[in-house]
């Protein structure tokens, strides 16, 4: 009825205004964590009750809405998965493990499988949270597949970069709560995967994490840098992107790239995830949408140009020489010992 619609409009304005005020006080990372986990609801219970009452009676808001599905070009969900596994953990919580040995390199096929697995979990009617893990010892993900970018074929290279975009839209934009459980190295694209999640827990004393593309003679994609800047502050992002820094777990915690260190990352990640899922689901989803929608729209709007730019950039002699040298270093006796 009319009164119900007025309440929903007023709720939308109130919630957006609250988010805007928070954004002026907190960093983007602290803002998202505070709102998603519900700490603002403890301080403002009347606003929370008002918001959830409007959400529960909103005539057009489905209970398990996808945030950005209408603008995501469809990709067929794989019929079988060879690089990822899905396992139930508890009611409403699933474990999505990368299992593409030896280092979970983000090939086109692996990215399509991760995106497809997340879509299945969104549609299963029961999953609220996902723990993104690795079943490969001592590695979360080594990042984008360098072999795909070295001496590339145009069609394969463009499909590769398009798959990366699709994975970003799905993982960063999913209404599900996601926590990255980092039990090993997470350089470059591995760091990117973790940054797309709502929370990050890393094993203490193990592995390195960061956007280290500059060390390879290339630059991190501009939209990787956007997330990095939001998480660790613009000044730190500017410095460490130029240096290609790989952080120890302790350093990553100090700069805010991970949220927590633990001797056992999986139980700690599960505890963090349950903290998110304890918040009423529709309210949490709406908060996440408000904070992430604009970033997804910016990247989506530039997708076609970005794919073309990637193709031109990856073919430059300087980039190809850098990739060649990096691949040669991987086969060196000293590197194999490491």
Residues with a known catalytic role = 144, 189, 212-213
Which residue from 307, 141, 299, 300 is spatially nearest to 230, judged by alpha carbons? 299
3-state secondary structure the chain: CHHHHHHHHHHHHHHHHHHHHHHHHCCHHHHHHHHHHCHHHHHCHHHHHHHHHHHHHCCCCCCCCCCCHHHCCCCCCCCCCCCEEEEEEECCEEEEEECCCCCCCECHHHHHHHHHHHHHHHHCCCCCEEEEEECCCCECCCCECHHHHCCCCHHHHHHHHHHHHHHHHHHHHCCCEEEEEECCEEECHHHHHHHHCCEEEEECCCCCEECCHHHHCCCCCHHHHHHHHHHHCHHHHHHHHHHCCCECHHHHHHHCCCCEEECCHHHHHHHHHHHHHCCCHHHHHHHHHHHHHHHHHHHHHCHHHHHHHHHHHHCCHHHHHHHHHHHHHHCCHHHHHC
Plot region of 217 (φ>0 → left; ψ -120 to 50 → alpha; else → beta): left
Could you tell me which residues are beta bridge partners of residue 129? 93, 177
């Amino acid at each position: 009825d009319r009164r119900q619609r007025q309440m929903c409009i007023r709720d939308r304005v109130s919630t957006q205004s609250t988010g805007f005020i928070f954004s002026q006080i907190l960093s983007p990372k602290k803002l998202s964590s505070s709102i998603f986990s519900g700490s603002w609801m403890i301080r403002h219970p009347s606003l929370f009750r008002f918001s959830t009452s409007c959400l529960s009676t909103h005539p057009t808001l489905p209970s398990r809405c996808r945030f950005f599905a209408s603008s995501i070009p469809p990709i067929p969900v794989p019929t079988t998965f060879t690089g990822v596994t899905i396992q139930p953990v508890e009611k409403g919580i699933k474990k999505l493990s990368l299992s593409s040995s030896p280092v979970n390199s983000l090939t086109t096929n692996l990215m399509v499988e991760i995106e497809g697995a997340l879509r299945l979990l969104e549609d299963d009617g029961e999953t609220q949270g996902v723990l993104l893990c690795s079943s490969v010892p001592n590695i979360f993900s080594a990042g984008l597949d360098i072999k795909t970018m070295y001496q590339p074929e145009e069609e394969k290279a463009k499909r590769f970069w398009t798959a990366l975009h699709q994975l970003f839209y799905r993982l960063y934009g999913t209404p599900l709560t996601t926590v990255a459980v980092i039990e090993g190295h997470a350089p470059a694209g591995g760091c990117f995967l973790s940054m797309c999640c709502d929370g990050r827990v890393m094993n203490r004393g193990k592995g390195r994490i960061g956007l280290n593309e500059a060390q390879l003679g290339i630059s991190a994609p501009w939209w990787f840098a956007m997330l990095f800047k939001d998480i660790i502050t613009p000044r730190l992002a500017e410095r460490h992107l130029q240096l290609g820094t790989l952080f120890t777990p302790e350093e990553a915690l100090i700069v805010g790239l991970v949220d927590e260190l633990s001797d056992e990352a999986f139980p700690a990640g599960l505890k963090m995830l349950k903290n998110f899922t304890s918040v009423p689901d529709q309210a949490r989803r709406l908060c996440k949408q408000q904070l992430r929608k604009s970033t997804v729209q910016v990247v989506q709007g530039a997708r076609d140009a970005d794919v073309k730019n990637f193709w031109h950039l990856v073919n430059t002699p300087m980039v190809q020489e850098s990739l060649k040298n990096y691949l040669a270093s991987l086969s060196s006796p000293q590197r194999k010992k490491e």
